[in-house]
Amino acid sequence: MDWHNFWLLLHLLTFVYWVGADLGVFYSARLVVNSKYSFETRLQVLKLLGWVDMIPRYMLLLTFPIGLTLSYLVNSGPQSIILLMVVFLVFFLWIFLVFKIHKEDGSLLGLRLVKFDLFFRLLFIILLFLLCLLSIIIKFPFNQEWLIIKIILFSCTIICGVGIRITFKPFIEAFKELSLHGSSANVEEKMKRSLNHAVPFVIGIWVFAGLAAFIGLSHERLF
Amino acid sequence: MIDSQLIWLILHVFILVYWLGADITVFYGSTQLINKKNSIETRLAIIKIISFVNWFPNIANILIFPVGVMLLVGLGYFSELGNFIFLVWVPFFLWFFFITGSITQRGTLVGKVYVFLDTVMRVILILFVFVGSSLLYFFEIIFIQDWVLLKFYIYGTVLICGFGIRFSFSGFAPAFQRLIENGSTIEIENKLRASVSRVKPWVLALWIGLVLLSYVGISKPGF
Q: What is the pLDDT of residues B121-150, one digit of tens each?
A: 999 999 999 999 999 999 988 889 999 999
> pLDDT, tens digit, for every residue of A8-52?
999 999 999 999 999 999 999 999 999 999 999 999 999 999 999
Tell me, what's the ipTM? 0.94
Give just the sign of the alpha carbon dihedral B133, B136, B142, B146.
positive
Do B45 and A44 count as a contact with CB atoms less than 8 A apart?
A: yes
Q: Which of residues 196-215 of A touch B (CB under 8 A)?
A: 210, 213-214
Task: With CB atoms and an 8 Å threshold, state whether B29 touches A48.
Answer: yes
Of B16, B28, B49, the CB nearest to A16: B16
DSSP SS3 for A35: coil
C-beta atoms of A25 and B48 within 8 A:
no
Band the pLDDT of A1: cuts 50, 70, 90: low
The answer to pTM > 0.90 is yes
Is B212 in contact with B154 (CB distance < 8 Å)?
Answer: yes
Given a contact cutoff of 8 angstroms between Cβ atoms, the answer to whether A215 and A146 are in contact is yes
Tell me, what's the pLDDT at A221? 87
Using the Cβ of B45 and the Cβ atoms of chain A, whether some distance falls under 8 Å is answered with: yes
Please choose, from the candidates B47, B27, B48, the residue with its C-alpha nearest in 3D space to the C-alpha of residue B196.
B27
Nearest chain A residue to B27 by CA distance is: A52
Q: Which domain holds residue A218?
A: 3-222
Say if A20 is an interface residue toward chain B (CB within 8 Å): yes
Per the CB < 8 A criterion, the answer to whether B47 and B34 are in contact is no
Which sequence spans correspond to the domains of chain B? 4-219
Burial class (CB in 10 A: 0-12, 13-18, 19+), A219: middle
Closest to B28 (Cβ–Cβ): which among A9, A27, A51? Answer: A51
- The average confidence (pLDDT) of chain A is 96
A28 inside 8 A of chain B by CB? yes
Q: Is the pLDDT of residue B81 over 90?
A: no
Chain A touched by B48 (CB under 8 Å)? yes
E-only strand ranges, A32-183: none
Q: Closest CB to B42: pick one of A25, A41, A214.
A: A41
B129-152 as b/e, with b when 16 or more CB fall inside 10 Å?
A: bbeebeebbeeeeeebbebbbbbb
d(CA B169, CA B20): 19
Domain count, chain A: 1
